[in-house]
Copies of this chain bind each other. A is one copy, B any other.
Amino acid sequence: MLDVKKIKRDFPILNHYIDGKPLVYLDNAATTQKPKVVIDAISNFYENYNANIHRGIHTLSQKATIAYEETRLNVQKFINAKSYQEIIFTRNTTESINLVAYSWARHNLKAGDEILLSQMEHHANLIPWYELAKEKQITLKYIPLTNDFRLDLSNIDNLLTPQTKLVSLTLMSNVLGTINDLTSIIQKAHALGALVLIDAAQAIAHMPIDVQKLNCDFLAFSFHKILGPTGVGVLWGRQKLLTDMPPFLTGGNMIASVYTDRATFNELPYKFEAGTPDIANVIASNEALNYLNAIGYADIMAHEKCLTAYALDILVKQENIILYGPNNTINRGSVISFNLNQIHPHDLGQVINDSGIAVRAGHHCCQPLMRQFNITGTIRASLYIYNDEADIDILAKTLQSAYKVMGHVVTR
């Protein structure tokens, strides 16, 4: 099991006080806090070897280049990619998905083709496809949800058709906590010749990811959700696919030879990294991986399972609570969404915040899912390696005061 006390000491912000109260940070699905090693890696870069990379012969530039590429090699290992050439650095998951939409989909899909999504997707895995669908007369289809907030695969053989060219799904819902077993969908999609993109923005924080075992075709995630800095995302893609795709953003670094009217492109992955990248943050991201690797996913998962069970157990007992998400910890991560009857999530979020607890209130970039539930938003408490049972207890206690603060008569 995790030594949470020890872990907390690695995160400077958790040892500070916010408005005079110790911070209870339960907004990890939005972004995680950063350990000192990550923060220090950024200063260390700027104070000791800051330089632009890839084309500089001078010592600083070489050091920076080596460190930047070291992160890429570590990412390759982290998700078990076949080659470092399959690892592309972007700004975030959103840009990674847009890259696939602009470069692969825009050049390979045509009117009448279909893309299969699900009803629990994040806007990042919806709007790029809406825009494409409008432009190209592509049909979007959705895997619906079951009553216990999981993908309803009962009709999957009708949803997948020979016209399906892409299946783009989240591996873990950032609202419901649901972890999707995508094995059979991926098999079926491939059997029909469709590609599969996995939005791993949430999943990557909570479970080990092996792209070869998953057998997907693209996978996207952001470092800021796994203890790393903001500004760094990853797109992984099969080398064959990436090789055949045209570049997306163009400019310096992604070229081989430039003439006055045309250019030839650099080899992978540089073909997809135009201009000066977020060098310091890519380098610091390596420390996030090292930190996670040192703890190990086995312990992370065990810790989260216990803590989620504890939280569900306590929350379900709150008066007038409505929970959105599986009520057990099987294939379920530590993201817990709920509402108190009659209280708008913004108001509840404010009441919770006033106790020094950071939760998220709103639609969590999943408006279609909210519409489905006929609500505008939820409160979302999302737990990570530095949270413990005391954090849940404080949250529960605060909930009990909400009706009083909001001037409601509590009705059972």
Contacts and interface: CB of A to CB of B under 8 A. Distances in A.
A57 B349 contact: yes
A58 B27 contact: yes
A251 B127 contact: yes
Copies in the complex: 2
A80 interface: no
Contact of A231 (B97, B251, B281): B281
Contact of A56 (B247, B279, B358): B358
A94 interface: yes
A257 B365 CA distance: 10
A261 interface: yes
Nearest to A351: B57
14 contacts: A31-B51, A46-B229, A58-B358, A91-B277, A92-B275, A94-B249, A124-B251, A126-B251, A127-B274, A230-B277, A230-B281, A260-B371, A278-B278, A281-B281
Top 6 closest pairs, chain A to chain B, by CB: A94-B275, A231-B278, A124-B251, A94-B251, A127-B250, A252-B365
Interface of A: 12-13, 16, 18-19, 23, 25, 27, 30-31, 33-34, 38-39, 42-43, 46-52, 55-61, 91-95, 97-98, 102, 122-128, 130-131, 133-134, 140, 142, 222, 224, 229-231, 233, 246-247, 249-255, 257-263, 274-281, 346, 349-350, 352-353, 357-362, 365, 367-368, 371
